[in-house]
Structure 1
Amino acid sequence: MVIRPSEDAPVTSGLFLAEVLAAAGLPAGVVNVVTNDRADAPAVIEALIAHPRVRRCNFTGSTAVGKIVGRLAGEHITPVLLELGGKNPILVLDDADVDQAAEQSAFARFMNSGQICLSVDRIIVDRSIAARFTEKFLEHVAALAKNGPDSPDAIIGPMIHARAAARVAELVSDAVVKGAQIVFDAGPVDGAFHPPTVLTGVTPGMRIHSEEIFGPVAVIYTVDSEEEAIALANDTEYGLSSAVYTENGTRGLMVARRLRHGSVHINSHTIADEPQASVGGVKDSGFGHFGSDWGAEFFTETRWVTVAAPRAGTR
């Protein structure tokens, strides 16, 4: 195995993992780590995929880079598994447990400062409960934001780097200029730290409506019906994870069947991942599944071996 970690996190996503595996007794040479400067990434990636000894390729990252990896793998007939971005929705229907939905939606948006591919990007709430949900949601966000990024108890800390925080700030600014409203703002951007922010009034003409946020900014949409909620949830090029909150399990299953996402969680949030379950998306969120048995099958080869019975009189 060769791991090429992100240039932004070579220790935690590569070198440290290799050290742990070595300490656990994995023989030398089984897991190898290749790091590189950002400027060298295209050449390194192409060299790895093109090498004849590489028999499988798994990429986790942005859809833009995933398309490049997929193209290169196709050129060399190398099987590839892609786990890419998401525009994950949470649908809060009119019969939902508002307290539960608000608390778990806040967790799904702001955990790890929103830097998880499964983080919720769209919180879609039925108008009949929107005011109550928003009030409860903002209470949870305020509680998460009470400790600053320098506090050891901080829940919402700095992003991976200042460039990431600046990009998220651009999404917010674009939305506000075009008419969105900020209903929660914990302060100014400070280097790599983007404060927790909540927006309403987001429309399709705003970048944040269609682009993956990947940061601590929540967007709440209000809809008038279940049909409108489903349509908005599916109105995206991505299809990774989604969630539905309703006190009617049958209704939740009916809605789940109509959502175009690799996973749908009923009365649980979009980050409700399980180690025994496979992860994968549809549309621009990726190709194939990894994790659990499905992922193991991708990294093995199925062959057909036959043994003919010996003929009489022969050995």
Structure 2
Amino acid sequence: ILTPLAAAGVLNVVTGLGPTVGVPLVSHPLVRRVGFTGSVATGQAIGRIAAERVIPLALELGGKSPILVFAVADLDAAARAAAMSVLINSGQVCSATTRLLVERSVQDELVRRIGAILNDKRPGEDFGPIVTPPQSDKVLGMLATARQEGAHAAVGGHKCEDGAPEQGLYIQPTVLTDVKPDMQVAREEIFGPVLVAMPFDTEDEAVALANATEYGLAGAVWCGDTARGMALAHRVEAGQVAVNGGVMGVETPFGGYKMSGIGREKGIEALYEYTQLKTVSVTLPDHATK
């Protein structure tokens, strides 16, 4: 489908499923580069086709991003940031910082402040529905598994049942506590409005927890001191880390480490990925050097 504002062929929007549209597009000889955002499994399938064709690609895949909060941080600001990670698109954002890693001495207080924010939010007004019935079932299933494994919902934890939301796929913004690093909700991307809280006692433990995932898309550090925050950001294995609420925009490169993908979107670095380097060497005639 050609947009009316673009010259023919500049922008084409083709909709359809992977086998009938995705595979032919990636396999077509006129397609010389691929950029994909989606699941790890689909990214791996696309990567195999791109490797066979020897074409470059960028993959922006899953995430299980941490937000590290230390006792000296601005807890109100950190609570607002953590709450927004599950309110925006109901947590259906690949870079959402949904692993809440908190210094043990302030964990209960931070969870209380997050709960005070989330409990006032209304479905359909402050947060939206889950995108599909299967995804809603997946989120609710993971919450059920978390309870069976010993986690507790300090906030939310269930499907919204009252009023208009009962007709939609709304799930309460949730904060789980008593979460262990080996639990499913701590390891796998939920893609729903669920924060999983885990305590730490030392800076090294915080970094180890942050990096204990196959993903590495984004992260956040709240520690008050900027220099300390910058040092911690360098230790977190993620493509972008916000320190004390640092803002990421269209000019900041976006992409991940590990299973979160390869390549970058946004920023000048992304533009470079759509170019191809060529070297030209010329011998000048003698008169040109005189």
> TM-score higher than 0.5 here?
yes
User: Pick from 9, 17, 35: which aligns with 2:15?
Assistant: 35
- The residue number in structure 2 matching 1:10 is none
- Asked whether the 8 Å contact 1:112–1:155 carries over to 2, the reply is no
Name the aligned partner's letter for residue 288 of structure 1: G
User: Pick from 57, 64, 71: which aligns with 2:34?
Assistant: 57
- Asked whether the 8 Å contact 1:49–1:78 carries over to 2, the reply is no
- Any unmatched runs of 5+ in structure 1? 1-14
- Any unmatched runs of 5+ in structure 2? 161-165
- The residue number in structure 1 matching 2:128 is 157
- Asked whether the 8 Å contact 1:84–1:117 carries over to 2, the reply is yes
Distance 1:180 1:245 in 2: 24
Distance 1:65 1:252, change over 3 A: same
Which deviates the most, 212-221 or 185-194?
A: 185-194
Distance 1:176 1:186, change over 3 A: closer
SS at match of 2:176: strand
2:222 is the alignment partner of 1:245:
yes
TM-score (norm 1): 0.84
- The residue number in structure 2 matching 1:127 is 104
- Asked whether the 8 Å contact 1:162–1:193 carries over to 2, the reply is no
- Asked whether the 8 Å contact 2:221–2:241 carries over to 1, the reply is yes
Distance 1:81 1:297 in 2: 12
Name the aligned partner's letter for residue 233 of structure 1: A
2:147 is the alignment partner of 1:176:
yes
- Asked whether the 8 Å contact 1:49–1:73 carries over to 2, the reply is yes
SS at match of 1:182: strand
Q: CA deviation at 1:194?
A: 1.9
TM-score (norm 2): 0.91
Distance 1:118 1:124, change over 3 A: same
Indicate the RMSD between aligned Cα atoms, in angstroms: 1.9
Trace 1:209-220 onto structure 2 (pairs within 5 A): 209-220=186-197
2:53 is the alignment partner of 1:76:
yes
Name the aligned partner's letter for residue 85 of structure 1: G
User: Pick from 99, 114, 135: which aligns with 2:91?
Assistant: 114
Distance 1:240 1:43 in 2: 29
- The residue number in structure 1 matching 2:248 is 273
Q: CA deviation at 1:264?
A: 1.1
Deviation digits for residues 199-225 of structure 1, max 9, x if unmatched?
111123421111111111111112222
Q: Give the % identical residues.
A: 38
Distance 1:278 1:133 in 2: 30
Distance 1:312 1:227, change over 3 A: closer
Distance 2:96 2:123 in 1: 21
Distance 1:187 1:79 in 2: 43
Deviant stretches of 4+, over 6 Å:
none
Distance 2:287 2:105 in 1: 81
Q: CA deviation at 1:186?
A: 6.8
Distance 2:96 2:191 in 1: 8
SS at match of 1:218: strand
- The residue number in structure 2 matching 1:95 is 72
Distance 1:289 1:183 in 2: 37
Q: CA deviation at 1:287?
A: 0.5
Aligned residues: 282
Trace 1:235-314 onto structure 2 (pairs within 5 A): 235-268=212-245, 272-310=247-285
Which deviates the most, 53-62 or 186-195?
A: 186-195
Distance 1:203 1:148, change over 3 A: same
